[in-house]
Structures are given as structure tokens and as C-alpha cells.
Structure 1
Amino acid sequence: MTAAQEDLVREETNSPAFPARLDTPTVEDGAAIWRIARDSQALDLNSSYSYLLWCRDFARTSVVARDDSGEPVGFVTGYVRPERPETLVVWQVAVDYAYRGRGLAAFMLDGLTERVASLGVRQVETTITPSNEASNRLFTSYGKRHGADVSREVLFHGGLFPDGHDPEVLYRIGPLAAAAAA
């Protein structure tokens, strides 16, 4: 963890230490990541198979947080858009219930974007349903921390979903100050 990350963690958690370390997910993490997503009660749960594939095919653009014993306690899944290789799309962010409220989601998101900056990433996109206030706060504060503009527009209106899903609002965050300085 860099000194700047430690300062961010202290600022968001009011704690001198952080009980998790960031790592690249492996296929062996897929089941735990699926359970964290399921237990979040906020995410659209994908098949367990998809989390295994994600850990295999998109590990480089995803991150897992591990506790002292090495068990996953949070994750961020993402991928680089093929049509826009400077854009990281964040697919899901989830934190185990016991680790919530400590700034872990922000810590993971910052750590991941620091890592993918070497791939040329200068912008982050994600979609959030209007009722997901925690994700709205997470990505709005992320934009502020990184000196980036945050724009919002409906990407998929509710009528496009066959299951009565809420609309998905696209958040575009960028350019990232850290990437601009690199």
C-alpha cells in the first residue's frame, strides 16, 4: 500500500490500520466472489460460472481484497472497453458485510485504477440503478478524489430489460488526474 493509499484509508475509515490487502483474483476466488455478490443483496447476481470466467479472463482488470488469512472479503470486477481502450468499465463492486463501512470499496477502486493506468486507462465507466445510493456515493466521491468530471445519462431504460429491471444510469468519470499526470 502506498503512503497516499494509507492516508485515504485513514481518512475514510478513521482507523490507523486497514484489515485487508489488494490482490489479483484467481479462479480459486470465483466461489467466494460469487458468495459476496449474492450476500450483498444489492447486485444482480450472475451465475457462479460467470465469476469463475471473470477471475480467469478479466483478472488483470479486476481486484480482490483479502483478509489476514487470505480469504476474499471484497472485489471489483472490470474490463477495458474494446472500442475505447482508455476506458475501464467497472462491472461490480461488493464488500463482505463484516467489512462494510470501512472504506474498502473506495480502497479497491483506487487500487484497481492505479494498476490499470499502466494499460492507458484514463476514464472509468459504470452503470448504477437510481435506487443504489451507496454506489452513487462511491463513484461520485471517486471522481472528486481523482479530480475528474462525473457525467450521468441513462444507458438502458427499464423497458429494455425482460424482467422489470430498473434503468441503468451510465456514469462516465474522467479524465483521471493520476492518469493525466502519468
Structure 2
Amino acid sequence: MTAAPADLADLIVDRPDVSDGAALWRLAKESGNLDLNSSYSYLLWCRDFAATSAVARDEDGEPVGFVTGYLRPDRPGTLLVWQVAVDAGHRGRGLAARLLDALVERIADERTVLCVETTITPGNTASERLFASFAERHGARVEREVLFDREQFPDGPHDPEVLYRIGPLAATSHSR
């Protein structure tokens, strides 16, 4: 779905639900730069990780962007952002940043969020810019290190995944 450009104010950001799974899969597929997971995984994600994910909806309620994430079990103050995707007709206007900020704010209303982590493959400048600007808006440092090198991927050639650790975040705990 490529929509006509709409004002970001017309979009609603909320939690995904299972009925959004197919749309999230489609957005990931059409992004052209995300590793596409099975459609089943997007359905499960919308069921099991809705509290740590966000979806942007257009005026018809259709998903036009999403952020999926989870709180790391061994570091419950760390939100790992798994994927970010925005429909082609809504790109370039700050929707990904709005989704990311809204998600962190929503989670921080319930618990302390100290850090955001994500992985980015080298050369993905859109993601690099998104997370650098997120760090700047939240007064946080960015640390980078290779998390998974290309040899670790069993299913063929894959660029390394560089871990971006962003934190500590300013004023993002439920005790604000």
C-alpha cells in the first residue's frame, strides 16, 4: 500500500493487535531493507509483544508504520528495538521517529527505561540517522559494537549486525 502523503497529525500511534500482523509483515516486506520474518512471527509478535511495540494508523485505521521491540529479560530496563518500517507513502516526514518516541514514552509510563538497543547493518543510513537523532533528542550516548559477525549467520551471506546501545535516557522512567 502506498498512500498519498498525509499530515502526521492525522495518524494515530497505538499498540498493535493480532489483526495487524499481516499488515506489519507486508510493511516489512515492502521496506526493501529489513530481514523478512515469517508471517506467523508477525502475528505472534502482535499478540505477545504488543506492549513493547507500536503501530501508526492512517485515518482508515490501516497500519502505515510500526516499531517492534521487547524488554531484554536479562536487562529489563533495556528496550531492544527489533524492526522499524514505514509505508513508502509516509516516509521522510519523521514518522519512524514519532513511533520510536511514542513507544519509549508509553513503556516509560509503566516502568523504567534506561537504554534502547537495536542492531543496524553497515550502510543502512536511514536507520543510523533515526537512532542518532533519537539519542540526541533523549540526551543519550550511542555505543556501537558488532553483535553478530557475518560468519555467525547460518543461512548464507549476511552483513554484520552492529549493536547500537543508546543510553542512559534522560527523563524516561515511570517515576518522572
Q: Which amino acid aligns with 2:115?
A: Q
**Moved runs in structure 1, 4+ residues, more than 3 A?**
none
Map 1:134-149 → 2, pairs under 5 A = 134-149=126-141
Q: Match of 2:10, SS? A: coil
Q: Shift in Å at residue 146 of structure 1?
A: 0.3
* 8 A Cα contact 2:8 2:95, kept in partner: no
> Contact 2:104–2:172 (CA<8 Å) still a contact in 1?
no
Unaligned runs of at least 5 residues, structure 1: 1-14
Q: How many Å separate the matches in 1 of 2:125 and 2:34?
A: 13
The CA distance in 2 between the partners of 1:45 and 1:145, in whole Å, is: 29
Determine helix, strand or coil for the equivalent of 2:106: helix
TM-score normalised per structure 2: 0.92
Cα shift at 1:17: 5.4
- Aligned counterpart for 1:53 among listed residues 44, 47, 71: 44
Q: Does 1:152 align with 2:144?
A: yes
Q: CA–CA distance in 2 between the matches of 1:17 and 1:105?
A: 11
Match runs of 1:29-48 below 5 Å: 29-48=20-39
How far does residue 120 in structure 1 lie from its aligned partner after superposition?
Answer: 1.6
Counterpart of 1:62 in structure 2 is: 53
| Structure 2: gaps of 5 or more residues | 1-5
In the TM superposition, what is the alpha-carbon distance from 1:154 to its structure 2 partner? Answer: 0.5
Matched, 1:127 2:119: yes
CA distances 1:149-181 after superposition (whole Å, capped 9, x unpaired): 111011011110121100000000011112267
Number of residue pairs matched by the alignment:
168
For the residues of structure 2 that align with 1:47 and 1:30, how far apart are their CA atoms? Answer: 10
Aligned residue for 2:13, secondary structure, equals strand
Q: Secondary structure at the match of 1:90?
A: strand
| Superposition deviation, residue 121 in structure 1 | 1.4
Task: Summarize deviations over 1:128-166 as a string: whole Å, max 9, x none.
Answer: 000211000000110000000111011011110121100
Percentage of matched positions with identical amino acids: 66
Residues 9-24 of structure 1: pairs in structure 2 closer than 5 A: 18-24=9-15
Report the TM-score when normalising by structure 1: 0.89
Shift, 1:119, TM fit: 2.0
Residue in 1 that maps onto 2:3 = none
Q: Distance in 2 between matches of 1:103 and 1:120?
A: 25
What's the CA shift string for 1:29-57, capped at 9, x where partnerless? 00000000000001000000000000000
